[in-house]
Amino acid sequence: MKQIALGIDIGGTNTAFGLIDEDGTLLFETSLPTKSYEIPENLVDAIYALLKDRPDFNQLIGIGIGAPNGNVFTGNIEFAPNLIWKGVVPIVQLFQDTFKVPAVLANDANAAAIGEHLFGSAKDLKDFVTITLGTGLGSGIFINGELLVGHNGFAGEYGHIRVIQNGRTCGCGRNGCLETYASSTGVVRSIAEFESPNKYKSALLRKDHVNAQEVFNEAEAGDVFASEIVEYTAAVLGSALADFAAFSDPKAYILFGGIAQAGVPFAERVQFHLEANALKIFQQKIEVRVSALHDKNAAVLGTAASLFWHLHKNSVN
Amino acid sequence: MKQIALGIDIGGTNTAFGLIDEDGTLLFETSLPTKSYEIPENLVDAIYALLKDRPDFNQLIGIGIGAPNGNVFTGNIEFAPNLIWKGVVPIVQLFQDTFKVPAVLANDANAAAIGEHLFGSAKDLKDFVTITLGTGLGSGIFINGELLVGHNGFAGEYGHIRVIQNGRTCGCGRNGCLETYASSTGVVRSIAEFESPNKYKSALLRKDHVNAQEVFNEAEAGDVFASEIVEYTAAVLGSALADFAAFSDPKAYILFGGIAQAGVPFAERVQFHLEANALKIFQQKIEVRVSALHDKNAAVLGTAASLFWHLHKNSVN
């Protein structure tokens, strides 16, 4: 019988969770409204109640949890502004007490990298970097088959490497960070901040609220300014990834997230700009791949994958 | 009895070599004029002749070799323009045949990192990056006590990460690479390219040929323009190292090379600019240390350290 992990992605609005077997097959998935549970114990109980009578429940070997302000070292959620639970929540302990199996708290960028390695586009790779293009830009680094964690647990913050001098202001208080350009937020900022003679003919300027997906849709429909934004985003990202190759010398970058998965062309343009900017020793050696995981359940897969990864590491070491 | 390694640094002009024990003590050191040996076998024989009658020769367990255009995978010197030996030279094989002990070819940036880890300023560290400021800028990365090699063996090319947009032209064919600013060559370029109202009063402009060391000496003697160049160099380097922390989250950077070791103040200025530019999660967490190895024999120590490291890795794995 196959081993099963429970992957849980706690968000401010919803908590998605699912059961994954060791091949990455999603056996069950649903979500609950986080805010409806006044104390975290109630959410834990509600998830337990939904799963405990399944015939495969005895195959459950552990739980991977993703949460805002989760401290992977302590297993606690710490002062999360987007949750109604205040202060320090010992979330790993709560799940372990109820489910009687090991639980781990997973960093979302690292969970994405582990998910790609176990179940996605990086199954065949030992040296790769995942780039998650969401509200910000997250990255997870594998080196020689091992996840890079770093001295303080903060390795792989590629979104906050500055790539444009005196560039866009970033939430971190500095300027020109990669994620102010290469992220869904960055794409939307480009509508106001990218200059082009084609700008004022664009459909994008006639809309009230535009999200990054619409920019990509308009580009595909032939809007010249929208296409320029897509190309600019690919150029900034590709040029940055060319330079970042000088860190870990990866075999591939795996792009994940709505805009990266909008279609193959974006990844192709990133690859083009990576090649155009790469040091000679890195030219034609680095692939840009699109994630094989789907946006909808990637967080659940990633957190479950983190649990498998954690147990496997502890059994071999 | 202690084990001994022979470290050899083959240069276009001279070949320095020495015997190092496992504590890093230099037992013997000398050099031979590379160009005087028409074929590499003759240099190997000359080194052998100088060492074979030493009482400690039977403690020799191996040889670490640094060489221009050395291919660490094949153990060959390949088409080195600065050597009189043409084509492919199986240098590892030649030393092994004569000395009857294992030999390895070492990458100089990696040898520096291993040297610092075994014998220098990084003895107590598992996560650090060495920055060698010479003609260019070399870097060697340790992660969790392991040297980072990379998928193709090219990890840690920090000198060729572009840090100034449309900046100085680099030998690699691109612009703004870190080493065009932070290296002895970069410091000399700053004399012509750094603009300041204090420039034309500077002693530096009244000299015919100025090297980086003289810029540092003039700065120490109170020359304002020279001080500005030193500060500018520290600012570009510190700012870059702040961003690069987002890759491996190191505990420390170790600065090596003439200008880095000119005195504590340069490292202090690099630390200042690193702090001023670091993402919050990295602030006050990363040390900037000065190498404890001396310029004169660092290459010999590093190549010998590489041999110890290599044999140790192969015995534990």
Inter-residue contact B10 to B34 (CB < 8 Å): yes
- Mean pLDDT estimate for chain B: 93
Q: State the pairing for strand pair A252-256/A128-133.
A: parallel
Which one of A152, A251, A277 has the shortest CB-CB distance to B249? A152
Q: Chain B contacts of A167, Cβ < 8 Å?
A: none
Residue A202, amino acid: S
User: What one-character-per-residue DSSP string does chain A give?
Assistant: ---EEEEEEE-SSEEEEEEEETT--EEEEEEEEGGG-SSHHHHHHHHHHHHTTSTTGGGEEEEEEE-TTEETTTTEEES-TTSSS-SEE-HHHHHHHHH-S-EEE--HHHHHHHHHHHHSTTTT-SSEEEEEESSSEEEEEEETTEE---SSS----GGGSB-STT-SB-TTSSB-BGGGTSSHHHHHHHHHH---TTGGG-GGGG-SS--HHHHHHHHHTT-HHHHHHHHHHHHHHHHHHHHHHHHH--SEEEEESTTTTS-HHHHHHHHHHHHHHS-GGGTTT-EEEE-SS-TTTHHHHHHHHHHHHHHHHHHH-
Q: Do A160 and B246 touch (CB under 8 A)?
A: yes
Q: Do A157 and B246 touch (CB under 8 A)?
A: yes
Q: Chain B contacts of A244, Cβ < 8 Å?
A: 161, 247
Q: Do A249 and B153 touch (CB under 8 A)?
A: yes
Which one of A154, A165, A247 has the shortest CB-CB distance to B164? A165
Q: Do A243 and B279 touch (CB under 8 A)?
A: no
Inter-residue contact B64 to B306 (CB < 8 Å): yes
Write out pLDDT tens, residues B69-94: 888 889 999 988 888 999 999 999 99
- Tens of each residue's pLDDT in chain A, 317 residues: 899 999 999 988 899 999 999 999 999 999 999 999 999 999 999 999 999 999 999 999 999 999 988 888 899 999 888 889 999 999 999 999 999 999 999 988 899 999 999 999 999 999 999 999 988 999 999 999 999 999 988 899 999 999 999 999 999 999 999 999 999 999 999 999 999 999 999 999 988 889 999 999 999 999 999 999 999 999 999 999 999 999 999 999 999 988 888 766 899 999 999 999 999 999 999 999 999 887 668 889 999 999 999 998 877 64
